[in-house]
Structure 1
Amino acid sequence: MPEISRFLGIVIRMFFDDHNPPHFHAEFQEFKAIIEIDTAELLEGYLPPKQLKLVQAWAIIHEDELLINFEKLQGELKSWSKIEPLR
């Protein structure tokens, strides 16, 4: 599972050939969550409220890049690009 970004102790990853809707996985300490790209809403799992808000803000800023990565990881080349962390 490629690491797309890392910031403030949060790791953002995407799976190869993952299911719809387009989403990414966020991990913080022992917490794991799945976030929908189009809405930045929590689909599954849990992140502490502060970290969830940071991840959602980052996802809104980088929505286009996230969608491109999701599509690339579903394709034959299985490629991806790193995305700038939240600062």
Structure 2
Amino acid sequence: MPEIIRFFGIVIRMFFDDHNPPHFHAEFQAHRAIIDIQNVRLLDGTLPPKQLKQVQAWALLHRQDVAKRNPNPLTFHAPFCTSFSLKAVFHGITIN
């Protein structure tokens, strides 16, 4: 499964042309989770609360990038990843 990005020990992976709904896989130590791209919610698996919030914040920041590159919102085709300061990114983001 292609790796999209790593941050704070979290690995984000994604299969392209995978089953619906559009999602990605997040891994942290022995924890594995599947996250819905459109709703940024946990579909399956577990992550510790802190890491889940960090993954959700990352997903919120990149959700529009995915939509712009994908005319069909039910299928994800293009990889996305940019280098950025996660410290700056997480500042001011609230995840409920």
Q: Could you say which TM-score interval applies, normalised by the shorter chain?
A: 0.7 to 0.9
Alignment deviations for residues 7-57 of structure 1 (CA, whole Å, 9 cap, x no partner): 000000001331000000000001000000011100000000000011001
The size of the alignment, in residue pairs, is: 81
The CA distance in 2 between the partners of 1:37 and 1:84, in whole Å, is 19
Q: Residues 1-87 of structure 1: matches in 2 within 5 Å?
A: 1-67=1-67, 68=69, 71-72=76-77, 80-84=79-83, 86-87=86-87
- Given that 1:3 and 1:82 are in contact with CA atoms closer than 8 Å, whether structure 2 keeps it comes out as no
Greater gyration radius: 2
Quote the residue 1:76 is aligned against.
Answer: none
Q: Secondary structure at the match of 1:62?
A: helix
> Distance in 1 between the 2:66 and 2:3 partners?
12
* Gap regions ≥5 residues in structure 2: 88-96
What is the RMSD of the two structures over their aligned residues, measured on CA atoms?
Answer: 1.9
Aligned equivalents of 2:80 and 2:59: distance in 1?
15
TM-score, with structure 2 as normaliser: 0.73
Q: CA deviation at 1:72?
A: 1.7
Between 1 and 2, higher relative CO (CA 8 Å, sep ≥ 6) is seen in 1
